[in-house]
Amino acid sequence: MEGVAIIGAGQTKYGDYPNKGVKELFAEAYLEMLQSIDQGLEPQQIQAAYIGCLSSGSGFQLGQLAPLLMGHVGLPNVNAVRIENACASGGYALYNAACAVASGKYDLVIAAGVEKMRDVSSSKGRYWLGVSGDTEYERLAGSTFAGIYALMAARYMYDYGMKREHLSMVAVKNHRNAVANPKAQFRKEITMEQALKGVPVAHPFNVWDCSPTTDGAAVVLLCNAKLAKDFTDKPVYLRGFGAASDYLAIHDRNSITSLAATRKAAAEAYKQAGVGPKDINFAEVHDCFTIAEIMAYGDLGFCEEGRGHILLEEGYTRPDGKLPVNASGGLKAKGHPIGATGCGMAVEIFKQLRDEAQEPSRQIKNARFALSHNVGGSGGTAAVFVYQRGDE
């Protein structure tokens, strides 16, 4: 298997873009990615593009989104394909791009994601946001994803003694982290009091426990590791990549306080990278709802199952803690443009591992290994990546 490196990365600021559609958002991220390649690159060298997107631009383009986007940036003839696994679409685009380079088939491949969510009416938005789960039963119980994650949170509280306040600690931490991130959607702190008292969504969640709707795009360029130093002295190596699925419906799973898909994907990524959870210096994890970050701590091996809330309470995952998690602000505050999210995590890690986090206050120092974790829906799919800095 060939080694895989990231040599360029770019993304739009996440947020609300009334004047930009998927094409414009994608182009902005793509051009920023090109500019980030230290020695430059002739774009025609790019051979393939895997582009994550759930709704294909709020549904206006049902099929063949990827060639539409690549044609928009002057590369109409690369092998372009859309990848869809709900909120993990970006992660699966990265996974498939990494496999394409690792196989030796291609040397230069785009992994990207884009989502246009803010054009959609709130009614249509809620229609869309539940139809990547088990639509025949979960949805007929009157539940969207917020309700499904709320059921996980309630059981986690019951089994492990987690309190409501622990959920809010995730929201407060991630909002604080987003303040210094110029790419984040919500760059404002919230207090614990605010986080506990938002508008109810699905008990125990209020609006502060939920990730927002977001427009945005993210693009990374993967390269055969042997060629990476032709393009930059500071590549970031993708040492391990894992992906796994689970039953789509929450009622079909053995455990609802852990995501089996995450566990299997993480085991695969760690094994390939030859490292373990203790080697990871910082991580970007899938906090679509506050409970998701708490469950991820256990599923990624940062603590034992059922102790995620304790890790949080101890400050272990704060920027000044032993293992900063979601220093970007996470899905919660950086934003969650569904198909872009998994690639946006890779953009953040690329910048951090090259000491280019823009605002000095948010630069994570002396990091060698990082991890990203992207989940589809309530855990029907998950992809996990281990990165290593390349300038040592």
Partner 1 sequence: MGAHISIPMYQRAVAQRYRLVGQKCTKCGKINFPPKAVCKYCQAGNEFENVSLSGKGKIYSKTVIAGGGAPPEFAEEAKCKGSYPVAIVELDEGPRIIAQLVNPPEEGYSIGMPVEAVFRKIYEEEGVIRYGFKFRMAAQSV
Enumerate the active-site residues: 87, 336
Smallest distance, partner 1 to C-beta of residue 89, A? 21
Contact call for residue 143 and partner 1 (CB under 8 A): yes
Identified binder of partner 1 from the candidate list 188, 197, 251, 278, rule CB under 8 A: 251
Residue 4 is given by DSSP the state E
Identified binder of partner 1 from the candidate list 89, 132, 144, 174, rule CB under 8 A: 144
Query: Of 74, 95, 94, 84, which Cα lies nearest the Cα of 30?
Result: 74
| Residues 227/122, Cβ–Cβ less than 8 Å | no
- Considering only the stretches 48-56, 80-88, 108-116, 245-253, report the one whose residues sit in contact with partner 1 under the rule CB under 8 A: 245-253
Query: Of 9, 21, 85, which Cα lies nearest the Cα of 215?
Result: 21
Collect contacts of 118-127 with beta carbons under 8 A, ≥24 apart: 118/16, 118/17, 118/18, 118/213, 118/214, 118/215, 119/21, 119/58, 120/55, 120/58, 120/213, 124/58, 125/213
Contact call for residue 158 and partner 1 (CB under 8 A): yes
Identified binder of partner 1 from the candidate list 127, 271, 304, 314, rule CB under 8 A: 127
| Rounded Cα distance, 331 and 208, in Å | 12
Count CA atoms within 13 Å of residue 11 on its CB side.
37
Q: Looking at this protein, which amino acid is placed at residue 127?
A: Y
- Considering only the stretches 43-51, 125-133, 229-237, 270-278, report the one whose residues sit in contact with partner 1 under the rule CB under 8 A: 125-133
Identified binder of partner 1 from the candidate list 74, 200, 274, 276, rule CB under 8 A: 200
Rounded alpha-carbon distances, angstroms, from residue 163 to 18, 289, 309, 310: 39, 15, 8, 10
Contact call for residue 62 and partner 1 (CB under 8 A): no
- Considering only the stretches 3-11, 14-22, 73-81, 242-250, report the one whose residues sit in contact with partner 1 under the rule CB under 8 A: 242-250
Identified binder of partner 1 from the candidate list 73, 100, 152, 382, rule CB under 8 A: 152
Residues 263-322 that bind partner 1 (CB under 8 A): none
Count CA atoms within 13 Å of residue 109 on its CB side.
28
- Considering only the stretches 6-14, 198-206, 214-222, 236-244, report the one whose residues sit in contact with partner 1 under the rule CB under 8 A: 198-206
How many residues lie near partner 1 (CB under 8 A)? 38
Residues that bind partner 1 (CB under 8 A): 123-124, 126-127, 130-131, 135-144, 146-147, 150-152, 154-155, 158, 199-205, 207, 247, 249-252, 256
